[in-house]
């Protein structure tokens, strides 16, 4: 018994060391991303203005997309598909990314991604060691939530990169908040490792909490791109109406994808996790039914999950409702994410309910 | 490749109407109508109101209102959850409390205004679903609309020339599209095909499932019942109203709704963290039961733990609390046993420091032979810190070194006064203290097995060797849970279908050009702008291209994307088709 306790304590210490190491590597990655942005600023990219002044909004044609050319026996080239932007959308090309086409910037960007991968692995190790030390899933208190949450958020980002999605521009914003999240975790929220109270012993814990953390990470990615969409959209609006944005705004926003792409990306991200978020709430209800004798009781945490859910449903409806697309829908998405954040931090800290256990 | 379009704004082409038909009915979402005010009396107003209520805009507003309305309930204490907190709040802020009372803010989720929001939302939902369902059935029965005049204006488009005859192209296209599970048919000079109806179906299923969930939840609340029962090891319980310590139920509940079952508590087991910062935190908490269902059910054994209730029909038996029940034996002056029973005591802290009362109501006579009642205030700690520790509070929740402190009274317990009494408290109004030799209240600390002798030959009290444990059970019946779960699963499935499946159309037109060569045109239209529509179109076009041999091009490469079939067409008239929400324009 004491031997096991000692190993557990050892593991907990290893976990702490790994988390601090991950923070160090994330910090290096952070600087590398900064370098990518700095070097990228040397190149002068002004596609947006060029695209916007070349013709009236929406009347231009996107480059033709080459159709599937597999099956090498075709005698002639296969037909190509011409794609158009739909009406009411500005047809602006995506920016080149943070490196701005600058080779050195790109190099730093690659270094940053490699460091992010390394930090991700170290942090995963830290989370795993924590889980082993407490002999359960590492989701018993807010410290553990935080370290798992940032690991998953970075994991989602790396997964999108691995799928060859154009998301490297997210890197700096993501790593900044990951560092904040971890800083908060190790300073304010740290809780010595321990086992769970019996109310938390349930396989629904694994299901409900893991999906909740995953959804949060994805919603977070969606929220970041929504904010960037809002900036980029007003930038494009300004250009389209003949305004002159500041040099800093130009330098940063020129390198991001077009507002239409950002908008689409955040919609996809949010829409893709919404069914999983629905599932998370239902799994929570089932667990509550087993643990507390009622599956829905308007406990503050339940209430805020519901509010978050309704807010995201409102966002999806807004996208399908004429007159609410674009910026208005984006504000709704941010509001919905705000609800999620409040549910995560606010409810644990300010409101007492059945969900507050294991010391914050 | 180099189709540079003119930059003049396009005048609305008359063919827009034509494309409107092709792009219409790609979903069942209601069209937004301008909110013009009605002019026609009551019916006009009613109709206007209904149309507003069932519009997407109002649904959106109601959704936002619902989330807004749910907020106060999470910040203000709710009487449904914590009655004492509400009372504390009222005491602390009397004026605010009155205002909150008027606004129903102490029971937000059953308040008039909150109910109004969700009832309106669900009326809106039903008003939205019914016509959409009919529309969808109509779309399933009908055929995908024919191709618009100029396919070049669609969001994804491709074209080539082939030596095959138009009829050959059409039949090849039909075969290909049908094989890919499109609904396809030949309409005039082109094949029209559509796929992804599951999206609409999923969407309808999702919204209907929401209604099912709400009805199931409301049903559950109305027929709900919830009772508590404290049981000492060895004792039993059968599920009738009179056996409960306390009981709450929904408005439509009747005692006949109680599921018949009974059980005995064989043993309660609790283990606790022995070391570390969380010393004393419960690790296991479980009750071994012997239960039978129905009037003549067979006896079965089971274990109930936190998170693992016993389910019998609609009823669930939860383990909710636990404490100790020392066995007390009271003898009168002649040594006759007048009381012999475990006495459940209520825990006061997490280390199970407990208190309660022992009441000897019948059978006791004082040394003079007069009938009297005895009462003892009991204070119990499972782990005594020792006399030197200076505290009577328990040091650990397990039975490591139990000590029972009793103080003794005699007289009239007032049990016959008709006022309901707590089992855990003694009414001392008509009780007199037993005095010790110094004239103070007679009290003693007992270890298991020890006996204390009351003064003046009044008898004795023994603290039994075996300290029993008790467990508190909550029995909850909430019908409709199965329906709610079914609704929830259907909702997730429907939602996934509605969000992940694209509904899209493909048209293939093959006509003989002026030079006698067949020109094939293909175009795709999705409900929302998506990379998938052009991707799929490219793939379909590639396959169809392989089956329809390419013709040498008269003037330029075969893939020149500009064989506009409409020769007198100005390039500037190429207004792109609004894909996303096409039907809402
Ligand atoms: C309880 C409230 C409601 C919730 C939680 C809800 C939720 C949702 C969700 C999550 C979607 C998927 C969005 C998408 O497909 O892009 C959706 C779609 C839709 N909802 Fe609702 N809804 C509710 C009430 C209503 C009402 C009252 C109406 C009718 C006025 C309505 C009409 C629609 C329509 C037409 C769509 C399809 C939009 C499209 O095809 O893109 N919903 N709803």
> CA separation (Å) from A203 to A147, A200, B541?
21, 9, 49
Residue A282, token pair as written in the block: 């239902």
Residue that is written with structure tokens 């800290």 in the block: A349
Residue A48, token pair as written in the block: 């947006």
Q: What is the DSSP letter of A79?
A: P
| E-assigned strand segments in B478-512 | 504-512
Residue B572: CB atoms within 10 A of its CB come to 15
Mean pLDDT, all residues of chain B: 83
Residue A23 predicted with pLDDT over 90: yes
Any A CB within 8 A of B550 CB: yes
The predicted-structure confidence for A238-250, as pLDDT tens digits, reads as follows: 888 877 777 788 8
Which residues partner with B162 through β-bridges? B518, B550
Partner B, chain A 236-295, Cβ-Cβ below 8 Å = 264, 271-272, 274-275, 278-279, 282, 285-287, 289-295
**Closest by alpha carbon to B460, among B451, B448, B449?**
B451
CB contact under 8 A, B64 and A311: yes
The predicted-structure confidence for B48-72, as pLDDT tens digits, reads as follows: 888 888 788 888 899 899 999 989 8
The predicted-structure confidence for A211-260, as pLDDT tens digits, reads as follows: 998 999 999 999 999 999 999 999 988 888 877 777 788 878 888 888 88
Mean pLDDT, all residues of chain A: 80
Q: How confident is the model at residue A88 (pLDDT cuts 50, 70, 90)?
A: low
CB contact under 8 A, A89 and B276: no
Question: Residues A148, A139: contact at Cβ < 8 Å?
Answer: yes
How confident is the model at residue B528, as a pLDDT? 67
Which atom of ligand 1 is the closest one to the Cα of B63? 2
Which residues partner with B158 through β-bridges? B522
Q: What is the rounded distance in angstroms from the CA atom of residue A189 to the CA atom of residue A120?
A: 21
β-strand pairing of B246-249 with B504-512: unpaired
The predicted-structure confidence for B451-467, as pLDDT tens digits, reads as follows: 999 988 889 999 999 89
The predicted-structure confidence for B483-499, as pLDDT tens digits, reads as follows: 999 999 999 999 999 99
**Closest by alpha carbon to A64, among A55, A75, A77, A73?**
A77
Residue B34 predicted with pLDDT over 50: yes
Could you tell me the distance, in angstroms and rounded to a whole number, from the CA of residue B206 to the centre of ligand 1? 8
Could you tell me the distance, in angstroms and rounded to a whole number, from the CA of residue B207 to the centre of ligand 1? 7
**From the candidates A82, A313, A315, which should be mutated to test the interface with B, based on the most B CB atoms within 10 A?**
A82
| E-assigned strand segments in B306-436 | 310-312, 315-331, 337-342, 346-347, 354-360, 373-381, 403-411, 431-433
């Amino acid at each position: 018994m004491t031997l096991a306790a000692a190993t557990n304590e050892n593991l907990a210490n290893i976990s702490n060391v790994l988390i601090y190491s991950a923070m160090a590597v994330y910090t290096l990655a952070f600087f590398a991303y900064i370098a990518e942005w700095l070097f990228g600023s040397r190149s002068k990219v002004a596609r947006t203005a060029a695209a916007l002044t070349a013709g009236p909004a929406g009347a231009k044609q996107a480059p033709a997309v080459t159709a599937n050319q597999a099956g090498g026996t075709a005698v002639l080239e296969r037909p190509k598909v011409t794609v158009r932007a739909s009406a009411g959308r500005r047809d602006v090309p995506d920016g080149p990314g943070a490196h701005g086409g600058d080779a050195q910037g790109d190099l730093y960007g690659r270094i940053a991604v490699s460091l992010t991968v390394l930090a991700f692995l170290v942090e995963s190790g830290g989370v795993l060691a924590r889980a082993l030390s407490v002999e359960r899933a590492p989701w018993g208190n807010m410290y553990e939530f935080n370290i798992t949450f940032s690991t998953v958020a970075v994991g989602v980002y790396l997964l999108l990169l691995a799928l060859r999605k154009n998301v490297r521009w997210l890197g700096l914003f993501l790593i900044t908040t990951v560092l904040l999240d971890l800083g908060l975790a190790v300073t304010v929220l740290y809780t010595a490792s321990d086992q769970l109270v019996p109310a938390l012993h349930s396989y629904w814990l694994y299901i409900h909490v893991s999906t909740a953390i995953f959804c949060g990470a994805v919603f977070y990615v969606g929220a970041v791109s929504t904010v960037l969409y809002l900036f980029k959209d007003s930038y494009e609006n300004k250009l389209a109406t003949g305004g002159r944005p500041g040099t800093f705004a130009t330098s940063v926003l020129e390198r991001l994808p077009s507002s239409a792409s950002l908008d689409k990306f955040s919609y996809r991200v949010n829409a893709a996790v919404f069914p999983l978020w629905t599932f998370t709430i239902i799994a929570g209800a089932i667990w509550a039914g087993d643990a507390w004798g009622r599956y829905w009781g308007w406990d503050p945490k339940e209430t805020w999950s519901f509010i978050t859910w309704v807010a995201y449903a409102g966002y999806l409806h807004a996208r399908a409702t004429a007159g609410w697309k674009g910026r208005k829908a984006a504000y709704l998405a941010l509001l919905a994410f705000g609800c999620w954040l409040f549910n995560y931090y606010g409810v644990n800290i300010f409101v007492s309910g059945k969900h507050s256990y294991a010391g914050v | 490749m180099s189709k540079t379009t003119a930059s003049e704004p396009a005048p609305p082409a008359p063919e827009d109407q034509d494309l409107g038909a092709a792009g219409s009915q790609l979903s069942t979402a209601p069209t937004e109508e301008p909110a013009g005010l009605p002019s026609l009396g009551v019916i006009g107003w009613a109709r206007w109101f209904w149309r507003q209520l069932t519009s997407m805009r109002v649904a959106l507003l109601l959704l936002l209102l619902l989330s807004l309305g749910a907020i106060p309930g999470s910040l203000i204490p709710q009487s449904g959850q914590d009655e004492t907190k509400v009372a504390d709040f009222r005491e602390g802020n009397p004026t605010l409390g009155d205002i909150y009372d008027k606004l129903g803010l102490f029971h937000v989720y059953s308040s008039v205004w909150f109910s109004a929001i969700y009832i309106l939302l669900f009326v809106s939902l039903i008003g939205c679903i019914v016509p959409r369902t009919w529309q969808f059935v109509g779309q399933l029965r009908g055929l995908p609309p024919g191709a618009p005049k100029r396919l070049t204006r669609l969001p994804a488009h491709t074209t080539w020339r082939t030596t095959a005859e138009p009829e050959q192209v059409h039949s090849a296209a039909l075969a290909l599209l049908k094989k890919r599970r499109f609904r396809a048919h030949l309409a005039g000079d082109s094949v029209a095909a559509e796929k992804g109806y599951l999206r609409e179906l999923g969407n309808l299923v999702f919204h209907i499932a929401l209604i099912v969930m709400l009805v199931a939840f409301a049903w559950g609340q109305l027929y709900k019942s919830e009772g508590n029962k404290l049981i000492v090891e060895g004792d039993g319980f059968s599920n009738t109203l009179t056996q409960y310590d306390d009981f709450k139920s929904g408005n439509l509940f009747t005692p006949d709704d109680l599921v018949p079952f009974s059980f005995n508590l064989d043993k309660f087991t609790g283990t606790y963290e022995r070391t570390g910062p969380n010393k004393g935190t419960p690790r296991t908490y479980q009750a071994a039961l012997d239960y039978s269902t129905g009037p003549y059910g067979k006896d079965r054994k089971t274990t109930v733990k936190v998170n693992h209730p016993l389910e019998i029909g609609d009823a669930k038996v939860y383990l909710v609390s636990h404490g100790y029940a020392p066995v007390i034996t009271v003898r009168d002056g002649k040594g006759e046993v007048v009381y012999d029973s475990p006495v459940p005591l209520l825990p006061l802290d997490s280390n199970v420091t407990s208190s309660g009362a022992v009441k000897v109501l019948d059978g006791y006579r004082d040394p003079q032979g007069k009938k009297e009642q005895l009462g003892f205030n009991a204070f119990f700690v499972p782990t005594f810190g020792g006399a030197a520790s200076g505290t009577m509070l328990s040091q650990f929740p397990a039975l490591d070194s139990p000590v029972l402190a009793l103080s003794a009274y005699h007289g009239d317990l007032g049990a016959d006064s008709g006022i309901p009494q707590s089992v855990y408290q003694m009414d001392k109004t008509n009780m007199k203290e037993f005095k010790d030799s110094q004239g103070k209240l007679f009290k003693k600390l007992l270890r298991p097995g020890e006996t204390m002798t009351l003064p003046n030959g009044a008898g004795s009290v023994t603290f039994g060797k075996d300290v029993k444990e008790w467990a508190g059970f909550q029995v909850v019946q909430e019908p409709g849970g199965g329906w709610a779960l079914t609704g929830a699963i259907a909702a997730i499935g429907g939602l996934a279908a509605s969000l992940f499946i694209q509904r899209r159309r493909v048209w293939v037109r093959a006509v003989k050009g002026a030079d006698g060569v067949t020109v094939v045109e293909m175009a795709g239209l999705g409900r929302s702008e998506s990379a998938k529509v052009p991707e799929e179109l490219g793939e379909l076009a590639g396959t169809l291209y392989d089956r329809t041999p390419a013709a040498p091009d008269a003037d330029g490469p075969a893939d020149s994307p500009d064989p506009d079939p409409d020769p007198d067409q100005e390039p500037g008239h190429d207004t792109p088709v609004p894909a996303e929400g096409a039907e809402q324009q």
